[in-house]
Amino acid sequence: MSLQLVFATNNLNKLNEVQKLIPATIQLLSLKDIGCEEDIPETQPTIEGNAIQKAEYVKTNYGYDCFADDTGLEVNALNGEPGVYSARYAGPQRNADDNMNKLLHALEDQHDRSAHFKTVIALHLNGKLETFTGICEGDIIKEKRGDKGFGYDPIFQPKDYKQTFAEMDLDLKNRIGHRGKAVQLLISFLNTL
């Protein structure tokens, strides 16, 4: 099986993470590869909705089979915030440090620091839409640790681990992380075609 799929993201960190997980039989194209320079709308109220919206946008406007993901950090003590607004939690500048600082401040007086990352992948393939969800449970620690990864990785410590995502090597993060889990479900599905 040889398959060409667009991964609808401009985030090179995500692209690299997923490329390591995808079998060699699947050629991954970026948005840049297909000439998509515009920002794809993400206006849905849910993580699932945003993933579906992005996949449908690429299929409709560029004609490529495609998958898109959306990821959010959902903190229990904050009723699931920042959730769908994770990337722009502290404002439209989408600055990871600003987002982490706002979250740490919001949790200052909270004893419950449990949270989970959730990734939903929407696959638009052969006229059908499928979704795959990966979740990684953990806690928000009180200070940033580590310099790997991106986003909230320096303050998220997965359950049963002493390291934050930002302290882990990419192989371990991919094995236990939300995106890795969702991608594995995607790959399992693609292998049945």
Domains in the chain (CATH in brackets) are: 3-190 (3.90.950.10)
Tell the residue number behind the tokens 């790959």, with chain if given.
187
SS3 of residue 108 by DSSP: coil
Strand partners, 71: 119
Q: What are phi and psi of 13, to 5 degrees?
A: -60, -45
Spatial separation of the C-alpha atoms in residues 111 and 126, rounded to whole Å: 48
Per-residue pLDDT of the chain (193 residues; tens, 9 = 90+): 578 899 998 777 778 777 777 777 888 899 999 999 998 999 999 999 999 999 999 999 999 999 999 999 999 999 999 999 999 999 999 999 999 999 999 999 999 999 999 999 999 999 999 999 999 999 999 999 999 988 999 999 999 999 999 999 988 998 999 998 999 999 889 878 7
Q: For this structure, is 70 an active site residue?
A: yes
Q: Is the omega angle on the peptide bond into residue 82 within 30 degrees of 0, that is, cis?
A: yes
Distances in whole angstroms, Cα of residue 132 to Cα of each of 61, 91, 105: 23, 28, 32
> Tokens in use for 179?
């995106």
Q: Per the residue annotation, which of 65, 69, 70, 139 is the catalytic one?
A: 70
- Give the global pTM: 0.90
